[in-house]
Structure 1
Amino acid sequence: MLNSNLQSLVETTMPAWQMMQKFQTQQQSAVEVATALLERIEEKEERIQAMTLLTPELALRQARAADSNYKAGTPRALEGVPITLKDTFDLAGYVTTKGSRVFKEHHALEHSGVIRRLYDAGAVFLGKTNTAEFGQSATCENKLGLVTANPWDTEKTPGGSSGGAASSVASGYAPIALGADGGGSIRIPAAMTGLFGFKPSYGLCPDEGGFRAMSDFACAGPLTNCVADARLFLSVLAEREFHRAPDGLKMLRIGYCESLDGQPVEPAVQAAVKHVATVLSRMGHQVDIITPSFTGWEQSFGPLVLAEEWRERGHFLTYCESELTDYEIASLQAAKAVTPEQVFEARKKQLEYRAKVAQLFESYDFLLTPTVATPAFTIGERPKFIDNTKVSRLWGAFPFTSPFNVAGVPAAAIPCGVSDGLPLSAQLVGAYHSDESLLNLCEALEQELNFQTYREGA
Structure 2
Amino acid sequence: MDEEPLWWPVQRLVDAYRSGNAGPLASVPVSINDAFHIEGHVTTLGSFAHASDVARHDSGAVRRLRRAGAVFVGKTNVSEFCQSATTDNLLGPDTANPFDPRRTAGGSSGGAAASVASGTCTGGLGSDGGGSIRIPASFCGLVGFKPTYGTIDDDGGFRAFSPFISAGPLVRCVADARSLHSALSADGTGTNDAPAGRGRRRIAWCPKPEGRPIDADVGDVVAAAVTRLAACGHEVSPTELDFGGWEEIFGPLVLAEEGERRGHLLGGPDELTWYHRRSLVAAEHLDLRVVTAARSALARYRERLDRYFCDYDVIVTPATATTAFELGCRPTAIAGEPVSRLWGAFPFAVPFNVSGHPAVVLPAGFVDGLPVAIQLIGRHGGDTELLSLAEQLETELDIRPFARLSPRWSTP
Q: What TM-score range do you get, normalising by the shorter chain?
A: over 0.9
Matched, 1:76 2:23: yes
1:413 and 1:220 map into 2 onto residues whose CA distance is 15
CA RMSD, Structure 1 to Structure 2 (Å): 1.3
Which of 240, 249, 263 is the matching residue for 2:189?
240
Instruction: Name the structure 2 match of 1:262.
Output: 211
Which residue type is aligned with residue 425 of structure 1?
A
Aligned length: 401
| Contact residue 29 and residue 73 of structure 2 kept, 8 A | yes
| Contact residue 314 and residue 377 of structure 2 kept, 8 A | yes
Instruction: Name the structure 2 match of 1:51.
Output: none
Matched, 1:370 2:318: yes
Q: Which aligned pairs between 1:273-312 and structure 2 lie closer than 5 A?
A: 273-312=222-261
**1:310 Cα offset (Å):** 0.3
| Contact residue 179 and residue 192 of structure 2 kept, 8 A | no
| 1:247–1:121 CA distance, 2 compared to 1 (3 A) | closer
Q: Which aligned pairs between 1:110-149 and structure 2 lie closer than 5 A?
A: 110-149=57-96
Which residue type is aligned with residue 433 of structure 1?
G
Which residue type is aligned with residue 432 of structure 1?
H
* SS of the residue 2:44 aligns to: coil
1:247 and 1:303 map into 2 onto residues whose CA distance is 43
Instruction: Name the structure 2 match of 1:355.
Output: 303
**1:71 Cα offset (Å):** 2.7
Which of 210, 213, 224 is the matching residue for 2:171?
224
* SS of the residue 1:447 aligns to: helix
Q: Which has more helix, going by share of residues?
A: 1
* SS of the residue 1:66 aligns to: helix
Matched, 1:435 2:383: yes
Q: Which aligned pairs between 1:371-390 and structure 2 lie closer than 5 A?
A: 371-390=319-338
2:366 and 2:59 map into 1 onto residues whose CA distance is 37
**1:246 Cα offset (Å):** 4.5
**1:264 Cα offset (Å):** 0.4
* SS of the residue 2:316 aligns to: strand
**1:137 Cα offset (Å):** 0.3
Instruction: Name the structure 2 match of 1:183.
Output: 130
Matched, 1:58 2:38: no
Instruction: Name the structure 2 match of 1:419.
Output: 367
* SS of the residue 1:178 aligns to: strand
* SS of the residue 2:32 aligns to: strand
| Contact residue 314 and residue 332 of structure 1 kept, 8 A | yes
2:45 and 2:192 map into 1 onto residues whose CA distance is 34
Matched, 1:327 2:275: yes
Instruction: Name the structure 1 match of 2:408.
Output: none
Instruction: Name the structure 2 match of 1:89.
Output: 36
**1:118 Cα offset (Å):** 1.2
* SS of the residue 2:330 aligns to: coil
**1:125 Cα offset (Å):** 0.7
**1:332 Cα offset (Å):** 0.4
Instruction: Name the structure 2 match of 1:215.
Output: 162
1:376 and 1:341 map into 2 onto residues whose CA distance is 37
Which residue type is aligned with residue 428 of structure 1?
L
1:243 and 1:144 map into 2 onto residues whose CA distance is 37
**1:119 Cα offset (Å):** 1.4
| Contact residue 196 and residue 223 of structure 1 kept, 8 A | yes
**1:60 Cα offset (Å):** 4.7
2:55 and 2:205 map into 1 onto residues whose CA distance is 44
**1:174 Cα offset (Å):** 0.4
Which of 251, 258, 262 is the matching residue for 2:200?
251
* SS of the residue 1:323 aligns to: coil
1:396 and 1:218 map into 2 onto residues whose CA distance is 21
**1:77 Cα offset (Å):** 2.3
| Contact residue 357 and residue 407 of structure 1 kept, 8 A | yes
1:56 and 1:421 map into 2 onto residues whose CA distance is 41
Which residue type is aligned with residue 193 of structure 1?
C
Which residue type is aligned with residue 331 of structure 1?
S
| Contact residue 182 and residue 192 of structure 2 kept, 8 A | no
2:232 and 2:197 map into 1 onto residues whose CA distance is 11
**1:56 Cα offset (Å):** 8.9
Matched, 1:151 2:62: no
1:60 and 1:85 map into 2 onto residues whose CA distance is 14
2:76 and 2:158 map into 1 onto residues whose CA distance is 15
Instruction: Name the structure 1 match of 2:118.
Output: 171
Output the TM-score relative to the length of structure 1: 0.86
Sequence identity, in percent?
Answer: 47
Instruction: Name the structure 1 match of 2:266.
Output: 317
| 1:338–1:189 CA distance, 2 compared to 1 (3 A) | same
| 1:129–1:243 CA distance, 2 compared to 1 (3 A) | closer
1:406 and 1:244 map into 2 onto residues whose CA distance is 28
Give runs of ≥4 in structure 1 deviating > 4 Å: none
* SS of the residue 1:155 aligns to: strand
Which residue type is aligned with residue 352 of structure 2?
F
1:81 and 1:245 map into 2 onto residues whose CA distance is 20
* Deviation sequence 1:298-338 (CA, Å, 0-9, x none): 12111110000000000100013x51000000000111122
| 1:350–1:308 CA distance, 2 compared to 1 (3 A) | same
